[in-house]
Amino acid sequence: GADGELLAQVIGVGGVPASAVAVTANVTVTFTTANSYLTFFQAGTSMPATSNLNWSVGEIKSNMAVLPLALATGQTGQGGSVDAFNLSGSTAVVIDITGWYTPTVVE
């Protein structure tokens, strides 16, 4: 809904490993009831000032995005999740994960 947030658990879904720190995803909105936007951000952190997806009422729209994940359950209460903010109206949100990032040690 308007000024609403959606918390989506990502680690453990569709093969995303516990070591993932971010995912790449095709994000789609449908059944949009107002001009609006979605901003994805790491659960438990401040929302950034930029959006990942913008649409007009009635549109079905998608965009590729890199979604940062909450790193530890103790940090946010929702380890392995991503938060999404919707400004206006309501919409259905589809998050199609296409890959993920894990930490790399460089020696």
- The model's pLDDT over 90-99, given as tens digits with 9 standing for 90+, comes to 999 999 999 9
For 38-50, letters b (16+ CB in 10 Å) and e give bbbbbbbeeeeee
Mean pLDDT confidence for 24-39: 95
Which residues is 25 bridged to in the sheet? Answer: 65, 97
What's the confidence (pLDDT) of residue 107? 67
Burial of 70 (0-12, 13-18, 19+ CB in 10 A): buried
pLDDT at 8 over 80: yes
